[in-house]
Amino acid sequence: MKIHEHQAKQLMAARGIPVPLGRVARSVDEAVAAVRPLIEETGNPVVVLKSQIHAGGRGKGTFKEHPDVRGVSVIPDGLEGGASATEAKVRELAQQMLGSTLVTVQTGDEGKQVNRLYVEQGIDIDRELYLAVLLDRATSRNIVMASTEGGVEIEKVAEETPERILRAEIDPAIGLAAFQANELAHGLELSGDAAKNFARFVIALAQAATELDTDLIEINPLVVTKSGQVMALDGKMAFDDNALYRHPEIAEMRDETEEDPAELAAKNAGLNYIKLDGTIGCLVNGAGLAMATMDTIKHVGGEPANFLDVGGGATADQVTTAFQIITKDPNVKGIFVNIFGGIMRCDVIATGIVEAVERVGLEVPLVVRLEGTNVEEGKKIIEESGLKVTNADSLLDGAEKILELTGAVS
Partner 1 sequence: MSVLVDKSTRVVVQGLGKTGQFHTDKAIAYGTQMVAGVHPSRAGTVFPFEGETDHSGVPGRDDSYSVELPVFATVKEAVAETGANASVVYVPPPFAADAIMESAAAGLELVVAITEGIPVADMIVAKRYLEGKPTRLIGPNCPGVITPGECKIGIMPGYIHSRGRIGVVSRSGTLTYEAVHQLTLLGLGQTTAIGIGGDPVNGTNFVDCMRMFQDDDETEGVVMIGEIGGTAEEEAAEFVQSEMTKPVAGFIAGTTAPPGKRMGHAGAIVSGGKGTAEAKIEAMTSAGIVVAETPSGMGEAMIRALG
- How many residues of this chain bind partner 1 (CB under 8 A)? 54
Taking the least distance from each CB to partner 1, the nearer of 170 and 185 is 170
Rounded CA separation 276/104 (Å)? 19
Q: How far is the CB of 57 from partner 1 (least distance, A)?
A: 13
The piece of 41-49, 122-130, 304-312, 381-389 that touches partner 1 (CB under 8 A) is 304-312
Binding track over 330-369 against partner 1, x by CB under 8 A = ----------xxxx--------------------------
Q: How far is the CB of 242 from partner 1 (least distance, A)?
A: 5
CA distances from 137 to 200, 238, 291 (A): 26, 17, 21
Q: Which helix (H) or strand (E) is 201 found in, with range? A: helix 192-212
CB neighbours of residue 213 within 10 Å: 16
307 sits near partner 1 (criterion: CB under 8 A): yes
285 sits near partner 1 (criterion: CB under 8 A): yes
The piece of 33-41, 71-79, 118-126, 290-298 that touches partner 1 (CB under 8 A) is 290-298
Taking the least distance from each CB to partner 1, the nearer of 115 and 210 is 210
Taking the least distance from each CB to partner 1, the nearer of 190 and 395 is 395
Taking the least distance from each CB to partner 1, the nearer of 198 and 239 is 239
Taking the least distance from each CB to partner 1, the nearer of 150 and 304 is 304
Peptide bond into 172 cis (omega under 30): no
**Burial class of residue 71, CB neighbours in 10 A (0-12, 13-18, 19+):** buried
394 sits near partner 1 (criterion: CB under 8 A): yes
Amino acid (1-letter code) at residue 296: T
Considering only 245, 248, 249, 361, the residue that binds partner 1 (CB under 8 A) is 245
149-208 binders of partner 1 (CB under 8 A): 154-155, 158, 171-173
410 sits near partner 1 (criterion: CB under 8 A): no
138 sits near partner 1 (criterion: CB under 8 A): yes
213 sits near partner 1 (criterion: CB under 8 A): yes
Q: Which helix (H) or strand (E) is 215 found in, with range? A: strand 214-225
Q: How far is the CB of 135 from partner 1 (least distance, A)?
A: 6
Q: How far is the CB of 202 from partner 1 (least distance, A)?
A: 18
CA distances from 8 to 3, 111, 219, 222 (A): 7, 22, 10, 14
291 sits near partner 1 (criterion: CB under 8 A): yes
Q: How far is the CB of 153 from partner 1 (least distance, A)?
A: 9
Active site residues: 130, 218
Kindly compute the dihedral angle of the four CA atoms of residues 49, 54, 60, 66, in this order, to the nearest 10 degrees. -70
Rounded CA separation 213/197 (Å)? 24
Q: How far is the CB of 276 from partner 1 (least distance, A)?
A: 7
- Whether the CB-CB separation of 131 and 197 falls below 8 Å is answered with no
Taking the least distance from each CB to partner 1, the nearer of 194 and 402 is 402
- Whether the CB-CB separation of 273 and 306 falls below 8 Å is answered with yes
Helix, strand, coil percentages in the chain from 3-state DSSP, rounded to 5: 40, 25, 35
Rounded CA separation 338/266 (Å)? 18
- Whether the CB-CB separation of 230 and 224 falls below 8 Å is answered with yes
- CA count, 13 A, side-chain hemisphere, 218: 19
Helix (H, G, I), strand (E, B) or coil at 169: strand
Within its chain, how far is the Cα of 207 from the centroid? 22
137 sits near partner 1 (criterion: CB under 8 A): yes
Q: How far is the CB of 37 from partner 1 (least distance, A)?
A: 37
Considering only 59, 76, 81, 372, the residue that binds partner 1 (CB under 8 A) is 372
Binding residues vs partner 1 (CB under 8 A): 135, 137-138, 140-142, 154-155, 158, 171-173, 210, 213, 215, 240, 242-243, 245-246, 272, 274, 276, 284-292, 294-299, 304, 307, 309, 312, 340-343, 371-373, 394-397, 399
